[in-house]
Copies of this chain bind each other. A is one copy, B any other.
């Protein structure tokens, strides 16, 4: 098999494992339809980029597999809850996500709100298994990393900046800051939580942090490019929304060609960071960077 097929096969195998783990951990048992709404929000969709990053880094640092899968799924639950809340009428008011009606369309607004809330709690619950299959000190560190990335200094803060930025003249630094919080923090945490499942020297940690940071930004630049170049059916969500809602994007700020160069440059930095990490097994991390940079949806 060519190198690219090998990494694609790894990716598919891991996506399958993540799907099974999520299906086992997000139970339908939650009362009064809540469990169904939670499963609807989480299962059968998404690229699982955050879990893949965590699992690939954990492999690279020879981390604990159980901790890695729990961290991977916890990150995906946080991501999923943020989409549920972000799609609600008082936020982006979106009706389509991963090619399906959004959670509030399918289950009502109140249930969507609660499903998001419960998914966030479940993310932390996953990190501290009752059976002791994750060392308590590792559980504690993973909880801290996830909480910091999800909270006011990370994802939630980035969404607040996003809300406040509609119709304003955010410059490139402002736009980067917003995305560094809104999506970057959780993507970087996906990398660093993978690292926390194993042993890692300071140089490797620095390099992985750099990799996670530039990859997060590259992800967003590509997102902005796809928003104007791709249709809703391919994206699985409403295309052209940013322009329609007058939100600043990398494309609106620097034009399509420069945005593409910027994405290429960030990808090159991601690969460079991995080469400087001193880690041996980084093929899947290199491949994930290319996957992020060259994706079509």
| Residues of chain A whose beta carbon lies under 8 Å from any beta carbon of chain B | 27, 29-35, 38, 81-82, 85, 88-91, 108-111, 113-114, 116-118, 120-125, 127-128, 130, 136-137, 139-141, 143-144, 146-148, 150-154, 156-161, 163-165, 181
- Knowing A128-B140, A137-B136, the reply to whether A121 touches B156 (Cβ < 8 A) is yes
Determine which of B30, B113, B128, B161 lies in contact with A141 in the assembled complex, contact meaning CB atoms within 8 Å.
B128
CB < 8 Å: which of B34, B38, B153 contacts A30?
B153
Q: How far is the CA of A158 from the CA of B158 in the complex (A)?
A: 30
In the assembled complex, the CB of A293 is this many whole angstroms from the nearest CB of chain B, namely 28
Q: How far is the CA of A124 from the CA of B120 in the complex (A)?
A: 11
What distance in Å separates the Cβ of A121 from its nearest Cβ neighbour in chain B?
3
Given contacts A125-B144, A147-B121, contact A114 B38 (CB under 8 A): no
The answer to whether B147 and A34 have CB atoms under 8 Å apart is no
Q: Are A117 and B30 in contact (CB under 8 A)?
A: no
| Contact (Cβ within 8 A) B121 A143 | no
In the complex, chain B residues whose CB is within 8 Å of the CB of A89: 90
Q: What is the minimal beta-carbon distance from A76 to any residue of chain B, in angstroms?
A: 16
Q: Which residues of B contact A88 (CB under 8 A)?
A: 90, 113
A109–B12 Cα distance when bound, in Å, is 39
Using CB atoms, name the residue of chain B closest to A92: B110
The residues of B that contact A114 with a CB separation of less than 8 Å are: 85, 156, 159-160, 163
Smallest CB gap from A38: residue in B: B152
| Nearest CB in chain B: distance from A243 CB, A | 20
Report chain B residues within 8 Å CB of A113: 85, 88, 90-91, 113
Give the chain B neighbours of A111 by CB distance below 8 A.
Answer: 160, 163
Known contacts A90-B90, A117-B156, A122-B147, then 5 further A-B pairs from the complex at CB < 8 Å, ordered by chain A residue: A85-B117, A110-B163, A121-B156, A136-B137, A137-B137
Q: Which residues of B contact A108 (CB under 8 A)?
A: 90
A128–B147 Cα distance when bound, in Å, is: 9
Cα distance A154–B127 in the bound complex, in angstroms: 18
Chain B contacts of A32 at CB under 8 A? 157, 160-161, 163-165
